[in-house]
Chain A
Amino acid sequence: MVQWKAEERAAIQAVFAKLDYESVGRETLTRLLVVYPWTRRYFGGFGNLFNSEAIMANPKVAAHGIVVLQGLEMALKNMDDIKNTYASLSELHSEKLQVDPGNFQLLGDCLTVVIATRMRTEFTPDIQAAWQKFLAVVVSALRKQYN
């Protein structure tokens, strides 16, 4: 089981406290779809994803960005048992959506970049360390059902 120090819990809470889900969610998903264009494959029903302007303006991207962050919030609220909390999400991504699990890391990286633009110098190395650990646990939990 993952052990969290008090400072790490506080750091993750601090990051979430600053997150405007709408703005951060939309930009994170936009960056995923722009920087790693093969991920557009998973969003066939979203309409126009042909260029970054279209993606930024796409209301389904905006809506889904919020869904993603709400999913991460579940991990925040259940930090001591993310693996089980994510069991059905993992099954969804592996069985139904058939997402290549490498893309979880990429989405996490895009989210980290967006958080860095919002928090700037407040995104200290200490906070980044805790945050990357949290993302690693989340990604691992999402990958659980794949094997």
Chain B
Amino acid sequence: MSLSAKDKLAVKTIFDKVAHKAEDIGSEALARTLFVYPQTKTYFSHWADLSPGSPQVKKHGLTIMKGVLSAVELIDDLKGGLLTLSELHAFMLRVDPANFKIINHNLLVVLSMMFPDDFTPEVHVSVDKFLAQVSLALSEKYR
């Protein structure tokens, strides 16, 4: 289910549009991941405050969203471009790849909340495919 030219254009267009809200989107998606799927808190046991709106959640939400935006730039070679990030997630963080689906879902939910008119069904399928490819690229070094 690789990305067509149409998918890439849809992804670039919407992420260009929402990039200025990167912190809001990323932190809201991360907050919902931690709150709605509490098993994900295991990766952040070193944080003082895991609640929505906390400074750590805001800062890390932005980090994640910047990662997603950089993946948009690397959309023609996600596996190659995300190699270092994959090593980080595989060897250091050891994030169970099941969690990529969770944060992807919450990114879609937040995009729907914040940009309902832009997040049409066509954009939805392209972004869903893109996030799935990003997850695959992040999983590349796992085994």
A88 to chain B, nearest CB (A): 30
**A121 interfacial by beta-carbon distance below 8 Å:** yes
- B38 nearest in chain A by CB position: A129
Quick check: A116 and B113 within 8 Å, CB to CB?
A: yes
- Interface core residue of B32, B37, B113, B116 (most chain A CB under 10 Å): B113
Q: What chain B residues lie within 8 Å of A35 (beta carbons)?
A: 121, 124-125, 128
Of the candidates B35, B109, B120, B122, the one whose C-beta lies within 8 Å of that of A116 is B109
Q: Which candidate, A17-25, A78-86, A107-115, is the interface stretch facing chain B?
A: A107-115
A112 touches B35 (CB 8 A): no
Specify which chain A residues have a CB less than 8 angstroms from the CB of B125 in the assembled complex. Answer: 34-35
Interfacial chain B residues near A104, Cβ < 8 Å: none
A52: chain B residues within 8 A (beta carbon): 120-122
Partner of B113, one of A109, A121, A132: A121
Tell me if B108 counts as interface (CB < 8 A to partner A). yes
Minimum Cβ distance to chain B for residue A91 (Å)? 29
**Interface members, chain A 96-147 (any B CB < 8 Å):** 109, 112-114, 116-121, 123, 125-126, 128-129, 132
Q: Helix, strand, loop or mixed for chain B's interface?
A: helix
B81 within 8 A of A: no
Q: Knowing A125-B31, A132-B36, say if A116 contacts B112 (CB, 8 Å).
A: yes
A37 closest partner in B (C-beta): B125
Tell me the smallest distance from the CB of B76 to a CB of chain A, in Å: 23
**B89 part of interface (Cβ distance < 8 Å):** no
A20 to B94, CA, bound (A): 43
**A24 nearest CB across to chain B (Å):** 12
Contact check, B124 vs A34: say whether CB atoms are below 8 A apart. yes
How many Å lie between the Cα of A125 and that of B122 in the bound state? 26
Find out whether the CB atom of B122 lies under 8 angstroms from the CB atom of A34: yes
Which of B31, B113, B122 sits near A123, CB closer than 8 Å?
B113
Is B52 an interface residue when CB atoms closer than 8 A count as contact?
yes
- A30 close to chain B: CB less than 8 A: yes
Closest 7 CB pairs of A and B: A117-B116, A116-B112, A34-B121, A35-B125, A125-B35, A129-B36, A116-B113
Interface of A toward B, CB cutoff 8 Å: 27, 30-31, 34-35, 52, 55-56, 109, 112-114, 116-121, 123, 125-126, 128-129, 132
Q: Jot down 13 A-B pairs with beta carbons below 8 A, ordered by A.
A: A31-B124, A34-B121, A35-B121, A52-B121, A52-B122, A55-B121, A109-B108, A113-B124, A116-B112, A120-B113, A123-B113, A125-B32, A128-B109
